[in-house]
């Protein structure tokens, strides 16, 4: 009986060894084979906007480079935090990635609870665009400069009605900070996207809108740009002042990038470093950026990760020092 038991134990032991070896071989065989199935890129904004258009342009080229199908999924809501949260909670295998911008990553977490920690829960793979976010008024508006808006708001407390493409995003917070420095009260009307803001602006519901999707209406003369929230002038808006030039403390960088959940394998990171470097240097992508008034500004994972963490810290410290209302 004892001999039979020992024989059974040896058989089980050998089977476990064989199983362990097989699993190890499978892991080795699949390593270095990313991607081996379709990839989903989550866009936290509605279809038709700049973020959606850039992501679809990237997906189209990335499919050819990687040899894998790429699906674009729009998950709107919460000032883009719902879609970003989806990416942060995804399995860290590189098959669920997301479009990220400064608003849900750098700005929004300072104002309400978001379903992720932007400094810990995301891997920032690559930055591909920096953009202006100008203060826009209708083409026939009486306001000829940003100073005109300030003068009006001081003389009419609470009557300057304005909006941005998302609540507590970078354009919203930077402009609230500028108004705080000026000591004025305005009336902010929450909206969920640039299409809604533009319709409200052109329809006369609001007097001023701040957003990065401005190319078409600006070229058509439907709107005028009075200022940009950033720190440096961009080529297509070289004639208008920036918030920094006007002495405002908060001048965030409006960036568009690609991210995934924390803990992505090194192979996934290096694959997308190569892929995004190739795409952003292509004539096709540069043409898309030109059409959407974006400035191609590629950063790889290491540089992009460092930039985002620095922006997060700067935003937090500036808001605290200015005591911007939440």
Domain assignments of the chain as residue spans, ordered by start: 39-131+252-322, 134-237
> With bands split at pLDDT 50, 70 and 90, how would you rate the model's confidence at 118?
very high
Q: Is the dihedral of CA 270, 274, 279, 280 positive or negative?
A: positive
**Three-class SS of residue 133?**
coil
Residue 161 exposure: Cα atoms within 13 Å on the Cβ side:
11
**What is the overall mean pLDDT for the chain?**
89
> Among residues of the chain, what percentage have pLDDT more than 70?
90
pLDDT computed for residue 178 by the predictor: 95
Region 22-31: mean pLDDT is 39
pLDDT computed for residue 16 by the predictor: 39
- The tokens for 34 are 């990313």
Q: How many CB atoms lie within 10 A of CB 9?
A: 10
**Three-class SS of residue 90?**
coil
Q: Is the dihedral of CA 110, 113, 119, 124 positive or negative?
A: negative
pLDDT computed for residue 37 by the predictor: 98
Q: Is 60 exceeded by the pLDDT of residue 12? A: no
Q: Is 70 exceeded by the pLDDT of residue 24? A: no
Higher-confidence position of 123 and 11: 123
> With bands split at pLDDT 50, 70 and 90, how would you rate the model's confidence at 86?
very high
Strand partners, 242: 228
CB 193 within 8 A of CB 45: yes
**Three-class SS of residue 143?**
coil
**134-237 matches 39-131+252-322 in CATH topology:** yes
pLDDT computed for residue 10 by the predictor: 52
Region 289-304: mean pLDDT is 93
CB 153 within 8 A of CB 325: no
Higher-confidence position of 86 and 213: 86
The topology under which CATH files domain 39-131+252-322 is: D-Maltodextrin-Binding Protein; domain 2 (3.40.190)
CB 177 within 8 A of CB 244: no
Region 296-318: mean pLDDT is 94
pLDDT computed for residue 193 by the predictor: 80
**Three-class SS of residue 244?**
coil
Residue 177 exposure: Cα atoms within 13 Å on the Cβ side:
30
pTM for the whole thing?
A: 0.75
DSSP result, 33-89: ---SS-EEEEESS-TTSHHHHHHHHHHHHHHHHHTS-EEEEE---GGGHHHHHHHHT
Higher-confidence position of 269 and 132: 269
Q: Is the dihedral of CA 211, 215, 216, 222 positive or negative?
A: positive
The topology under which CATH files domain 134-237 is: D-Maltodextrin-Binding Protein; domain 2 (3.40.190)
DSSP 222: S
Round to the nearest angstrom and report the end-to-end CA distance of the chain. 77
């Amino acid at each position: 009986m004892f001999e039979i038991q020992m024989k059974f134990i040896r058989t089980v032991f050998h089977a476990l060894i064989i199983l362990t070896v097989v699993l190890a071989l499978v892991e080795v065989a699949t390593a270095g084979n990313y991607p081996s199935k379709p990839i989903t890129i989550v866009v936290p904004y509605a279809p038709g906007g700049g973020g959606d258009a850039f992501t679809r342009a990237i997906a189209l080229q990335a499919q050819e480079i990687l040899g894998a199908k790429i699906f674009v999924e729009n998950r709107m809501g919460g000032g883009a935090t719902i879609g970003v949260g989806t990416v942060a909670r995804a399995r860290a295998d590189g098959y669920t990635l997301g479009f990220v911008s400064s608003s849900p990553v750098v700005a929004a977490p300072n104002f309400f609870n978001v379903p992720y920690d932007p400094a810990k829960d995301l891997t920032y793979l690559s930055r591909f665009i920096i953009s202006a976010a100008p203060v826009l008024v209708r083409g026939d508006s009486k306001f000829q400069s940003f100073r005109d808006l300030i003068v009006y708001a001081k003389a009419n407390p609470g009557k300057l009605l304005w909006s941005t493409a998302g609540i507590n995003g970078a354009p919203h917070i930077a402009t609230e900070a500028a108004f705080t420095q000026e000591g004025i009260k305005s009336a902010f009307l929450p909206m969920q996207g640039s299409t809604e803001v533009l319709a409200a602006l052109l329809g006369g519901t609001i007097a001023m809108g701040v957003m990065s999707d401005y190319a078409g209406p600006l070229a058509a003369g439907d709107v005028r740009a009075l200022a940009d929230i950033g720190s440096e002038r961009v080529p297509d808006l070289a004639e208008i002042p920036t918030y920094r030039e006007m002495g405002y403390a908060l001048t965030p960088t409006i960036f568009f990038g690609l991210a995934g959940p924390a803990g992505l394998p090194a192979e996934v990171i290096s694959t997308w470093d190569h892929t995004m470097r190739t795409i952003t240097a292509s004539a096709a992508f540069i043409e898309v950026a030109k059409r959407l008034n974006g400035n191609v500004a590629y950063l790889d994972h290491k540089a992009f990760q460092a930039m985002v963490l620095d922006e997060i810290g700067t935003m937090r410290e500036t808001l605290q020092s200015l005591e911007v209302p939440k």
